[in-house]
Structure 1
């Protein structure tokens, strides 16, 4: 499945619908420090931190990529439930890692404390995991 990863600065109506579908089934803890999916999507689009995986003109996964001088943080990573286990999240992470490396920065995952699934992802992808301050 060839997934194109891109920064999502201008979201079309269809992109907005796809983003809502992506985050609809996400666990509530994923949205911290935001109140929910709408606030996460709105803020991420407004500050230009949203990246998304696209296949056949539809968004299948998304995440926030926050850029700092030496460290970039990937957070709020989510893939549509019907598309999970097909490499979309890994493709998003790999592309974010490549972008950070090209900018001379290290990529780190960022998530709320105490969630085994994100700890397992960080370990599998061999990425450092930092805790979101809530």
Structure 2
């Protein structure tokens, strides 16, 4: 039995074309790194939440946006929605194994960002000062 073409020539990495408009990884990357996607993954990495608890924990997210983001993350296989058949209805959200992996990586990025805030603040101050000098110099 011969070795398949796919086994000997695996497809090129999707990352090689992540900047391409039709790249399948691009949409997933957008979902995982969206404003609310990042915060939801980080929150669910700690524990499961009910909808209202998650909304309070994340903060400043509308019900509509939280619902849409959870549905998107569930569709992509990152979030598990567990609807309990009780009255009143109870729905818990947790991460799937794929979601756990994504959350770990997003948390690493969040930690790196937190460590670099002073550098970003300094860069902003330099930029703003230069813009003020340029504006002042050109108006004279």
Would you say same fold, with TM above 0.5? no
TM-score between both structures, scaled by the size of structure 2: 0.25
Q: Which structure features the higher share of helix residues? A: 2
Larger radius of gyration: 2
TM-score between both structures, scaled by the size of structure 1: 0.25
Of structures 1 and 2, the one with the larger relative CO (CA 8 A, separation 6+) is: 1
Q: Which structure features the higher share of strand residues? A: 1
